[in-house]
C-alpha cells in the first residue's frame, strides 16, 4: 500500500511539473503559484457573471467568442454556476491600488476559474493570460483537435509601465486596413497597449484630410520601385505615381475602435517640420524653396531636395491647423505625435521668410527656429485639447513647456528631458528598433545595423539618476523602408515584440533571459497556429575571427542555453555527427568557408549558417 501511495505521489509531482511546462506565460506575471490538477473546458462549461453587470458580461462575451472557433465550444453566459465547470468573472469590491486599472487576479482550480478585476482592461488581460494556459491551438481560427485543459494556478498580475507600445511605419510602404488590424490583434495578446501609427513621411501621406484633398490625391502616391532602399532612381519625367494608398477617415475610425475594443490606444504621428516631402508634393509653396518636388520613392535626397516645411511661412501654420483639427477629431488618444526628427535646416539658412522670422523673434540660430516651430505646434495642439509628443530632437533649441519626449537616439535625450521634469517614452535604437538585423546578415533580409533578441530583452527603460515617475514606458519601432509587406513586418516584429512586452509589463526581478527563451519557444507554436510569421534568429550563432597565438581562429557564441554547435570546414553540411564546437577553432590552411548548425536540447533549431572566411576577415578589419 505504501509503495502504491508513493507511486501516486510521484505521478502527481510529474503531472504537476508537466502542467506547469505547458503554461509558459508572456509577459511573465507578477506572481504565479502553480497547483496540482487541471481544469478541462467541456461542452457543459458555463461562464458566470453577476446579474446586470455590463463590464463582466462584455468580458464574458469576448471570452466565449475567442473560445468558439478553435475549440468548437461556445460556453453560455449565465448568472449561476455550471454543474460541470465554471468560468466566473467577479468585480473586485473596492479599488485595488496595486492592481490599478489593468491588473487582475486569476485562479484556476479543477472545477472553477475565477477572473477578478476592477476595470475592463483588467478583465481583458486576465482573459489573455487564461488563453495562454490553454494549448497553442487556441490561437488558431479553425476548430482544432486538442485537449482543452489548463493547469491549476493562482496569478496576481499588473503592469510595470502604463505605456507599452509598438510603432508601425505605414508611410514607406502602405499596409491595408486588414493588415493593421491583424498587427493590433497580435499586440493585444501580449498586453501591449499603445499603437503608434506613423502616418506621414517623405514617401507617403496616409491619412485623409477632407479640407486638404491633395494631401492624398498627390501625397499618397509615388512611382513604384523594387530593390535596395536609397538606391532607387528618382521619379522620371512622365512616370506615373501608381504605388501607395491611404486610409479614409471612416477607415481610421474603424481601426481606432478596433484597437479600443482590445484596450489599445492609437497614437497618430504627423511628422513635421522635416520628413515632409509628401506634403510638399501637394503644396510646394510650404517649403523654403517652393520647388515642385515629387513624393520620394526611396532615392537619396537628404540635403539635396528640400523636405522641410518653412517655419517662417504663416501659410504653413494655417495648413497644419487644418490637418491637426481633423486628426484631433479622429483620435481619442490624449497625445498627438508631431515628429520633429532629422530636420535638414540648410535651406532655412538662405530662406528670406525664415531669416525674417528669426530676426523678428530674436532667434539666434536655426535650432532655435525649429524650437519656435515646435512651440507653436504645442500651442496649436493644446487649443484642440491634445498634448504633444516629439522625437528627442525637439530638445534642440529649447524644449516646449509641456512636451513629452520620445527618446530614440539612445537614452540621453530621455534623461535630459526627465531631468527637466518632462515625461519620457524610452525607445532607444539599440534596444527598440525592430527594422534592424536580428541575426547574421547572411541569413536575414537586407537592412542595417543590429538588434538581437537578447538586446531587446535587456532593455531597461528607467536609467540611473532619473525619477521613475517621469518615464511613462517604452515601445518598439518598426520603420519600413525595407519592409514591403505583412509577412516581412511580422518577421521583424516577433519575437522581439515579445521581449519588449515582457520588459514593459513584468517586474524587473522577474525578467530572466533563459526563462524567457524557454517560454518564447512555446509561443512559436502559437504563432504557427495563428499563421503569424516570426524569426528564429535567436538560434543563429555569432561568428567572429580573432587572433589566437598569432594565428586566426573562429570564435562561435550562442545566445541560448542547452545549445550545441556543429561545424565543418570541408564543404559538407554538418549535423550532430560532425565535430562539436567547444573552443575557438584555429583556421585550417586553405579553408574558404565554415558551415554551422545549432542543436538545442538535442533538437536542430534555426537555419544552417554558411560563412565565407573572406567575409569574416572583412568583419574583423571593420572591428
Q: Confirm whether 336 is domain-assigned.
A: yes
Q: Confirm whether 218 is domain-assigned.
A: yes
- Spatial CA neighbour of 484 closest among 254, 174, 203, 268: 174
Catalytic residue among 137, 201, 305, 393: 201
Whether residue 180 sits in one domain with residue 327: yes
112-124: b or e for each residue (b if 16 or more CB lie within 10 Å)? Answer: ebbbbbbbbbbbb
Look up the CATH number of the domain holding residue 59.
3.30.379.10
Burial class (CB in 10 A: 0-12, 13-18, 19+), 13: exposed
Give the DSSP H/E element, type plus range, for residue 376: helix 366-382
Whether residue 172 sits in one domain with residue 129: no
pLDDT digits (tens, 9 = 90+) for 413-449: 999 999 999 999 999 999 999 999 999 999 999 999 9
Q: Confirm whether 87 is domain-assigned.
A: yes
**Last residue of a domain, which of 537, 564, 593?**
537
Whether 342 is a known active-site residue: answer yes
Does the pLDDT at position 521 exceed 70?
A: yes
The range of the structural domain enclosing residue 81 comes to: 19-157
The predicted model scores a pTM of: 0.95
DSSP 88: E
Give the DSSP H/E element, type plus range, for residue 542: strand 542-548
Whether residue 178 sits in one domain with residue 88: no
CB 406 within 8 A of CB 341: no
Catalytic residue among 185, 251, 342, 367: 342
Concatenated DSSP letters of 91-146 = E-SS--TTTTTT-EEEEE-SSEEEEEESSHHHHHHHHHHHHHHS-GGGGSSS----
DSSP 305: B
Whether residue 280 sits in one domain with residue 213: yes
**Last residue of a domain, which of 537, 566, 584?**
537
Residue 387 bridge partners (DSSP): 335
Whether residue 585 sits in one domain with residue 512: no
Whether residue 561 sits in one domain with residue 532: no
pLDDT digits (tens, 9 = 90+) for 183-200: 999 999 999 999 999 999
Cell 508634393 identifies what position?
281
Give me the phi and psi of 364, to 5 degrees please. -85, -25
Mean pLDDT of all residues in 374-390: 98
The reported pLDDT for the residue numbered 15 is 40
Catalytic residue among 173, 198, 275, 337: 275
Whether residue 509 sits in one domain with residue 377: yes
Count of domains observed in the chain: 3
Whether residue 40 sits in one domain with residue 85: yes
Residue 398 bridge partners (DSSP): none
Whether residue 134 sits in one domain with residue 274: no
Look up the CATH number of the domain holding residue 301.
3.20.20.80
- Bond before 27 cis per omega within 30 degrees: yes
Q: Confirm whether 4 is domain-assigned.
A: no
Whether 564 is a known active-site residue: answer no
Q: What span, in angstroms and rounded, lies between the C-alpha atoms of 388 and 382? A: 8
Q: Confirm whether 291 is domain-assigned.
A: yes
**Last residue of a domain, which of 480, 514, 537?**
537
| 249: alpha, beta or left? (left if phi > 0; alpha if psi -120 to 50) | alpha
Whether 263 is a known active-site residue: answer no
Neighbours of 109 (CB within 10 A): 15
Whether residue 220 sits in one domain with residue 300: yes
Q: Confirm whether 386 is domain-assigned.
A: yes
The reported pLDDT for the residue numbered 2 is 43
Mean pLDDT of all residues in 383-391: 98
Does the pLDDT at position 460 exceed 50?
A: yes
Whether residue 146 sits in one domain with residue 197: no
Q: Confirm whether 12 is domain-assigned.
A: no
Burial class (CB in 10 A: 0-12, 13-18, 19+), 405: buried
Look up the CATH number of the domain holding residue 551.
2.60.40
Does the pLDDT at position 11 exceed 50?
A: no
Whether residue 377 sits in one domain with residue 461: yes
174-183: b or e for each residue (b if 16 or more CB lie within 10 Å)? Answer: bbebebbebb
Q: Confirm whether 210 is domain-assigned.
A: yes
Amino acid at each position: 500500500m505504501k509503495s502504491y501511495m508513493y507511486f501516486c505521489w510521484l505521478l502527481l509531482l510529474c503531472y504537476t511539473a508537466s502542467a506547469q511546462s505547458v503554461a509558459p506565460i508572456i509577459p511573465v506575471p507578477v506572481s504565479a503559484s502553480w497547483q496540482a490538477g487541471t481544469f478541462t473546458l467541456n461542452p457543459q462549461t458555463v461562464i458566470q457573471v453577476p446579474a446586470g453587470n455590463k463590464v463582466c458580461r462584455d468580458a464574458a462575451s469576448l471570452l466565449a467568442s475567442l473560445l468558439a472557433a478553435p475549440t468548437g465550444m461556445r460556453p453560455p453566459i449565465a448568472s449561476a454556476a455550471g454543474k460541470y465547470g465554471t468560468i466566473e468573472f467577479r468585480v473586485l469590491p473596492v479599488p485595488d491600488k496595486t492592481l490599478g486599472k489593468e491588473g487582475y487576479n486569476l485562479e484556476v482550480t479543477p472545477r472553477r476559474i475565477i477572473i477578478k478585476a476592477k476595470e475592463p482592461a483588467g478583465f481583458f488581460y486576465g482573459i489573455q493570460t487564461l488563453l495562454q494556459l490553454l494549448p497553442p491551438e487556441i490561437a488558431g481560427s479553425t476548430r482544432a483537435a486538442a485537449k482543452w485543459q489548463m493547469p491549476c494556478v493562482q496569478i496576481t498580475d499588473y503592469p510595470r509601465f502604463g505605456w507599452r507600445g509598438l510603432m508601425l511605419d505605414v508611410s514607406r510602404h502602405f499596409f491595408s486596413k486588414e493588415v493593421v488590424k491583424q498587427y493590433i490583434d497580435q499586440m493585444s495578446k501580449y498586453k501591449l497597449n499603445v499603437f503608434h501609427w506613423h502616418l506621414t513621411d517623405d514617401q507617403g501621406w496616409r491619412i485623409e484630410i477632407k479640407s486638404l484633398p491633395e494631401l492624398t490625391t498627390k501625397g499618397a502616391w509615388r512611382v513604384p520601385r523594387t530593390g535596395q532602399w536609397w538606391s532607387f532612381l528618382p521619379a522620371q519625367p512622365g512616370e506615373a505615381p501608381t504605388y501607395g494608398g491611404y486610409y479614409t477617415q471612416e477607415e481610421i475610425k474603424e481601426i481606432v475602435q478596433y484597437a479600443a475594443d482590445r484596450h489599445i490606444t492609437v497614437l497618430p504621428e504627423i511628422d513635421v517640420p522635416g520628413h515632409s516631402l509628401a506634403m510638399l508634393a501637394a503644396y510646394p509653396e510650404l517649403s523654403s524653396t517652393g520647388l515642385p518636388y515629387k513624393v520620394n520613392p526611396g532615392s537619396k535626397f537628404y540635403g539635396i531636395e528640400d523636405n522641410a516645411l518653412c517655419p517662417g511661412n504663416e501659410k504653413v501654420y494655417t495648413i497644419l491647423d487644418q490637418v491637426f483639427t481633423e486628426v484631433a477629431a479622429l483620435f481619442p488618444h490624449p497625445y498627438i505625435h508631431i515628429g520633429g526628427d532629422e530636420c535638414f535646416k540648410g535651406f532655412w539658412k538662405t530662406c528670406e521668410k525664415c531669416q525674417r522670422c528669426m530676426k523678428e523673434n530674436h532667434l539666434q540660430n536655426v535650432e532655435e527656429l525649429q524650437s519656435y516651430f515646435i512651440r507653436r505646434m504645442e500651442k496649436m495642439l493644446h487649443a484642440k485639447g491634445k498634448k504633444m509628443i516629439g522625437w528627442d530632437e525637439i530638445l534642440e533649441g529649447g524644449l516646449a513647456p509641456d512636451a513629452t519626449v520620445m527618446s530614440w537616439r539612445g537614452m540621453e535625450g530621455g534623461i535630459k528631458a526627465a531631468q527637466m521634469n518632462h515625461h519620457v517614452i524610452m525607445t532607444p535604437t539599440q534596444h527598440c528598433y525592430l527594422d534592424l538585423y536580428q541575426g547574421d546578415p547572411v541569413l536575414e533580409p537586407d537592412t542595417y545595423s543590429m538588434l538581437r533578441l537578447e538586446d531587446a530583452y535587456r532593455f531597461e527603460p528607467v536609467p540611473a539618476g532619473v525619477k521613475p515617475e517621469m518615464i511613462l514606458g517604452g515601445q518598439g519601432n518598426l520603420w519600413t523602408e525595407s519592409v514591403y509587406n505583412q509577412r516581412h513586418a511580422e518577421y521583424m516584429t516577433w519575437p522581439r515584440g515579445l521581449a519588449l512586452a515582457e520588459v514593459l509589463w513584468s517586474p524587473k526581478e522577474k525578467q530572466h533571459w533563459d526563462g524567457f527563451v524557454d517560454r518564447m519557444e512555446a509561443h512559436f507554436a502559437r504563432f504557427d497556429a495563428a499563421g503569424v510569421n516570426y524569426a528564429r534568429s535567436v538560434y543563429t550563432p555569432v561568428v567572429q575571427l580573432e587572433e589566437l597565438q598569432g594565428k586566426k581562429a573562429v570564435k562561435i557564441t550562442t545566445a541560448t542555453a542547452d545549445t550545441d554547435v556543429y561545424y565543418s570546414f570541408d564543404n559538407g553540411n554538418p549535423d550532430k555527427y560532425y565535430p562539436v564546437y567547444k573552443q575557438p577553432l584555429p583556421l585550417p590552411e586553405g579553408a574558404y568557408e565554415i558551415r554551422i548548425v545549432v542543436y538545442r536540447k538535442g533538437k536542430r533549431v534555426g537555419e544552417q549558417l554558411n560563412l565565407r572566411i573572406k567575409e569574416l576577415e572583412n568583419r574583423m578589419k571593420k572591428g
